[in-house]
Amino acid sequence: PIRHWAKLLNYAKANRMQIIGLNCPWRVSDFVEGNGIDGLLGRPRFPEVDLLDSVHRHRFLKEQYGPTLAEAPSKQILSRAYQVQTLREEWMAEQAAIYAQKMGGWLVCIMGRNHVAGRRGVPNRIHRRLGGNSGWAAPHTIILEGAEWQSKDCDLPTVHRHHLPGTDEADWVW
């Protein structure tokens, strides 16, 4: 709902900051959810999609369906759900990288924690596109203090009853 973004959008407007949309069009992600991604890979204007990160896949499935996957749907549904998540992250990373290369300077991307957790979602995909010899540093990640980053049985320190992540999860806590 727009009310979740209204203050941020109004701040950007008042300070003449440009806002760009990063997310994958719903029609594309809905298609992948229903039909899989295979027929779309390699098409023009379609980002490179890396589905081979086993740590990212395990983390996604654990987050979505719990540690045992006992009540998870079929393997096909699990595979397509992961394809959609990864497609959305690749799409966001592609849009961010295109904008950064074109405009330079700073770019702040705001997205859900599952897209930045452990830098395995969008941050590493942006870095893959901008890294190397181009002179771009790895993206920095900031998470909200109240986000539940670990399972309830973790031994991380807490602030206001919220577990704090380690540096393997993010660079800063806000």
Predicted confidence (pLDDT) per residue in 106-149, tens digit: 888 888 878 887 878 898 899 899 876 567 777 887 776 555 55
* Residue pair 126/95 in contact by the 8 Å Cβ criterion: no
Query: Model pTM?
Result: 0.81
Whether residue 154 is predicted with pLDDT greater than 60 in this model: the reply is: no
Tokens 């990288």, residue located: 97
What's the mean pLDDT when you consider all of the chain? 82
Whether residue 49 is predicted with pLDDT greater than 90 in this model: the reply is: yes
Which one has a higher pLDDT value, 125 or 168?
Answer: 125
| pLDDT at 162 (0 to 100) | 57
Query: E strands, the chain, where?
Result: 142-143, 158-159, 162-163, 172-173
CA distance 51 to 82: 8
CA distance 164 to 168: 11
Cα angle: 31, vertex 66, 22; to 5 degrees: 40
**CA nearest neighbour of 39 among 80, 78, 85:** 80
The mean pLDDT of 48-71, rounded to a whole number, is 83
